[in-house]
Structure formats: C-alpha cells, structure tokens
C-alpha cells in the first residue's frame, strides 16, 4: 500500500466541508421527508449539540461557501 492510498480525507476537505457533508448524509438518512434541506436547516444540523464532536458554531455564510466548494 502506498502512502497515497492511506492519505486522510482531511487533507482534501476542510473541517467545515466534512461537517456539511456529514450533516447532509445524516439528515438524508434520518429525515428523508425533510430533504433537501434549506440553508437554515443545514446550518442548524451542522451546529446541533448532540451527536457532534466537536460542537461547531457555523454561520450561513460559512455553510454556503462550503457548499459552493463541494459543488465544484
């Protein structure tokens, strides 16, 4: 196995992008009737206090910018 094969995802995605993707995946699986999420709902999902480590306090701008980066 080469070192490239063991490279961590964190080298490619920043912590906000990881949180956004994780929140989207969790909410799609747990509340599919509420999917797709509004920006406000996604921000709330990213900032929820349970099942999140570390707890974050992201703004709509940070989440929106992360979504834009992920869409590329």
Beta carbons of 39 and 20 less than 8 angstroms apart: no
Residue 3 lies in a domain: no
Q: DSSP letter at 31?
A: -
Residue 8 lies in a domain: no
Residue 2 lies in a domain: no
Please name which of 43, 62, 26 lies closest in space to residue 70, comparing C-alpha atoms: 62
Residue 21 lies in a domain: yes
Residue 24 lies in a domain: yes
CATH label of the domain that carries residue 55: 1.10.10.10
- Residue 72 binned pLDDT confidence (cut-offs 50, 70, 90): confident
Summarize pLDDT for 15-24 with one digit per residue, the tens: 999 999 999 9
Summarize pLDDT for 4-16 with one digit per residue, the tens: 444 444 469 999 9
Q: List % helix, strand, coil for the chain (3-state, nearest 5).
A: 60, 0, 40
Residue 50 lies in a domain: yes
């Amino acid at each position: 196995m080469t070192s490239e094969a063991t490279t961590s995802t964190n080298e490619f995605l920043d912590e906000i992008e990881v949180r956004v993707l994780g929140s989207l995946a969790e909410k799609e699986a747990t509340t599919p009737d509420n999917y797709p999420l509004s920006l406000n709902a996604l921000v709330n999902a990213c900032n929820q206090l349970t099942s999140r480590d570390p707890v974050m306090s992201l703004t709509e701008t940070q989440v929106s910018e992360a979504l834009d980066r992920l869409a590329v």
